[in-house]
A and B are shown apart, each in its own frame.
Chain A
Amino acid sequence: SQQGEEDPQALSIQEGENATMNCSYKTSINNLQWYRQNSGRGLVHLILIRSNEREKHSGRLRVTLDTSKKSSSLLITASRAADTASYFCATAGYNQGGKLIFGQGTELSVKP
């Protein structure tokens, strides 16, 4: 698989449920970031986790990072219909001029 692969590709849940998205990557990273994209719109930065961090929280978001497994997960708790969007992980490596490598994304649908 390529750098920054998410699964599942699509996730459909009911409002109030938790949504978990996973991301795997191949090379060593400086940090990993999660972005959200509403249909046809720009990317919105959600949360960044550094390579020496294991877990981070921001509001209803919880991200974990396991560098030994080269994987990360994003948990959205108590989801809302407004959380419906595509979610991408993106990795930033070392000495790469700030290049972000994005995954294919997870399309999340939260039904009211």
Chain B
Amino acid sequence: EPEVTQTPSHQVTQMGQEVILRCVPISNHLYFYWYRQILGQKVEFLVSFYNNEISEKSEIFDDQFSVERPDGSNFTLKIRSTKLEDSAMYFCASSEALTGMKEGYTFGSGTRLTVV
């Protein structure tokens, strides 16, 4: 069964450093998303991406965040200057149809980001 692959699975970084989280969505999916889950809290939407541009972003997705699809397969989330409160599990997801109308969203296993 097709999977969304995320790397790395764990990342520890110093406060103020830049991190890039990587994702390989399912090949025939057109819509891509980043979510995050702070330990013990609900899953929060960050951004959606379609046709090489951002479709929707949340208040969390401020100027320190950016997304990119640098080639035909990867989808990246960059955090420019990490803060302690950015520590969370970051999930990438993709879907064939908008709102996941066909078969929902496929999520990756996540990258656990720890900012120290």
Contacts and interface: CB of A to CB of B under 8 A. Distances in A.
B99 A31 contact: yes
Given A33-B105, A42-B109, A45-B106, A101 B45 contact: yes
Interface of B: 31, 33, 35, 41-45, 48, 50, 54-56, 58, 89, 91, 93, 95, 98-101, 103-110
B110 A42 contact: yes
B40 to A, nearest CB: 10
A100 B100 CA distance: 9
A102 B56 contact: no
Given A45-B106, A97-B56, A102 B101 contact: no
Interface of A: 4, 30-31, 33, 35, 40-45, 47-48, 50, 88, 90, 92-93, 96-105
Given A43-B107, A45-B105, A103 B100 contact: no
B108 A42 contact: yes
